[in-house]
Amino acid sequence: MKSIHHHKHFIESGFISRKTHTALNAPTTRLHQSLVEEKASVISDADNIYMRKAIEAASNGLGNTFPNPAVGCVLVSGDDEIIGVGFHPKAGYPHAEVFALFEACGYVDSGVDAAKSVVKFTKNSINERDEVMETVDDLLETYSSENGAQTLFENRLAEKDVTAYVTLEPCCHFGKTPPCAYTFVQAGVKRVVVGFRDPNPKVDGGGFKVLEDNGIPVDLMIANERKARSKAEAKNAQDCANIVSSFVKRIAPRTESEGADILDYDSYMNGAKRSILRSVAGRRKNDNSMVEFAWPSSGAFVDAKDANVDLEEAVANMSIDHSWMEAVDNALWSHELILLRLTNAVQKKKGAKILGERIAKELNAHVAQVVGHTALLYRPARPPVLSLEPVEEDVET
């Protein structure tokens, strides 16, 4: 309900126009996206330098943001002073743009250090928040509240002629917090340079449209060296794409040639296809090429021996390490078929099955087999590599 209320408030307050609101709820923004991409490159040497710094910032979040992408942002004033740098540290916390704004508006000394405090707190299971982490939590609470973006950022950068450099197109959809594209408008950012368009159907050019509808020009870097203004621009654009490669594979709609039909596992999978996957797994185990992931020993654990524990509910609510999930996700893209060892998570075999299915659902994968405390996960690459069609043998007559 909060996000719906936020959305209504932004329209009524004039923060976004009803025209923009209508466009964002349309089935696609691809026409606008194509117009942005077709503009001749105006990327300068300075733009490339600042985008490189945004890429460096994004690297701080790699491996910790699942299911979100790693993103970096740099804010530069009209007199070429970097006034804010940030990266997205973890799902559920502010995006890179917001951490950069926290610094630019004086709420934290360093947007990068503030984001790093989130990584440290969540990655190492630290129980006590340090002062920086407490500040981040307080800012997040304000930002997530009604009028939060206005309260924190309204016109704070309007007089500084700020250009924002973001490795990925700013989001435009409403969730736990206001979208970054709207927040840039609210803060008074004057120009946005983007390294890579977000293929997420919830965005897909919508961030560009929100910004340009509110008078903020957007320049998208070009990865094609023949169309880019410089090799530096092409490299930056490609590096921005590489940072989110696994996210893009997971979120972008598939075509038929990319295995779209396979993802309808309930219809596509049958005993014969699962048998083929088990045979592939057997061959890989025999030649030691089977990729396996054990549940982290420091990860969450369900005490299935406790009679008071509802196993399904406990497994459904247990926390899953984001770094581990990101590693599993990457391995599936590379190998299509992997084995999960879940003994460290739950000792009952039924619990391992429930957990395997939960992990598969989050990764849009399929549980091909559960044996003991192991789950065999399958997800087709883009395009699929493994053939699940039975091979017909020639019969001599």
Question: What pLDDT does residue 226 have?
Answer: 92
Residue 49 dihedral angles phi and psi, to the nearest 5°: -65, -45
Please give the model's pTM, rounded to 2 decimal places: 0.84
Residue 134 annotated to the active site: no
Q: Which residue has the higher pLDDT, 370 or 22?
A: 370
Q: Measured between alpha carbons, how far is 314 from 125 in angstroms, rounded to an integer?
A: 19
The pLDDT tens digits of the residues spanning 65-100 come to 999 999 999 999 999 999 999 999 999 999 999 999
List the catalytic residue out of 12, 37, 56, 97: 97
Q: Which helix (H) or strand (E) holds 341?
A: strand 337-341
Average pLDDT over residues 218-230: 94
Q: Helix or strand or coil: residue 87? A: strand
Return the ∠ at Cα 212 (arms to 196 and 233), rounded to 5°.
Answer: 30
Give the type of residue at 307.
A
Q: Alpha-carbon torsion 61, 67, 72, 75, what sign?
A: negative
Question: What pLDDT does residue 114 have?
Answer: 98
- Both tokens assigned to 260: 């779209």
Among 162-166, 202-206, 331-335, name the one with the lowest average pLDDT: 202-206
Q: Identify whether the C-beta of residue 375 lies closer than 8 Å to the C-beta of residue 342.
A: yes
Among 189-203, 280-294, 295-309, name the one with the lowest average pLDDT: 295-309
pLDDT band at 125 (very low <50, low <70, confident <90, very high): low
Q: CB-side exposure of 377: number of CA atoms within 13 Å?
A: 35
In the chain, what are the domains?
2-247 (3.40.140.10), 256-378 (3.30.110.60)
